[in-house]
Amino acid sequence: MKDFYSALNLSPQADEEAIRASLTTAPADVQSDARLILLDPRRRAVYDRNHRLLTTIGELRSHLGLSYTRFWARQEYKDFWKELGTGPVKRGKRVDAALIAGAFRAVGRHGRKHVTHRRNWIVAAILVSIALLVVVAFHLAR
């Protein structure tokens, strides 16, 4: 997918008149595709949704330090790769290793509660004992 907004030097909020004006100076390969997508309201709505998604993924990948070549190898998405330091930096909650480790510990604690309950182990031990007694009784009855 191409980033038509950057190819046309437009913002995603540009109106139809600005798009038409930019299309006159755009390269031929971008011009025909952008005209087909950006000037049709339904196609533009789908394109804008996908554009926001790929832009967000590109920003997240750059903040996580994932390289373009290995983890985002498909050439059709190269327009959405953002290097750190290019463009406006959005400030948000600082994420560090301790915060990530804490999130995984929380999932481990709360996501597997059924495994850690002592009564579950006791019930399992009783069921195994009963099964063993049934097997032994069956063999002795023969």
pLDDT in tens, 67-87: 555 555 556 666 776 654 455
Asked if the structure places residue 137 within a domain, the reply is no
Asked if the structure places residue 100 within a domain, the reply is no
- Which among 33, 35, 37 has a CA at the least distance from the CA of 48? 37
Predicted local confidence at residue 102, as pLDDT: 63
> What is the extent of the structural domain holding 52?
4-88
Asked if the structure places residue 101 within a domain, the reply is no
CA-CA distance, 108 to 73, in Å (whole number)?
Answer: 32
CA-CA distance, 48 to 5, in Å (whole number)?
Answer: 10
Q: Number of structural domains, the chain?
A: 1
Asked if the structure places residue 139 within a domain, the reply is no
Asked if the structure places residue 22 within a domain, the reply is yes
- Which among 9, 48, 45 has a CA at the least distance from the CA of 26? 9
CA-CA distance, 90 to 79, in Å (whole number)?
Answer: 19
Asked if the structure places residue 94 within a domain, the reply is no
How many helices (H) and strands (E) would you count in the chain? 8, 0
CA-CA distance, 27 to 7, in Å (whole number)?
Answer: 9
Predicted local confidence at residue 29, as pLDDT: 84
Mean pLDDT value of segment 92-116: 57
CATH number at residue 64: 1.10.287
The residue behind tokens 């050439």 is: 75
Asked if the structure places residue 112 within a domain, the reply is no
Asked if the structure places residue 48 within a domain, the reply is yes
pLDDT digits (tens, 9 = 90+) for 31-65: 989 999 999 999 999 999 888 888 887 777 776 76
pLDDT digits (tens, 9 = 90+) for 1-33: 788 998 899 999 999 999 999 999 888 888 989
pTM of the model: 0.54
Is it the case that residue 103 has pLDDT exceeding 70?
no
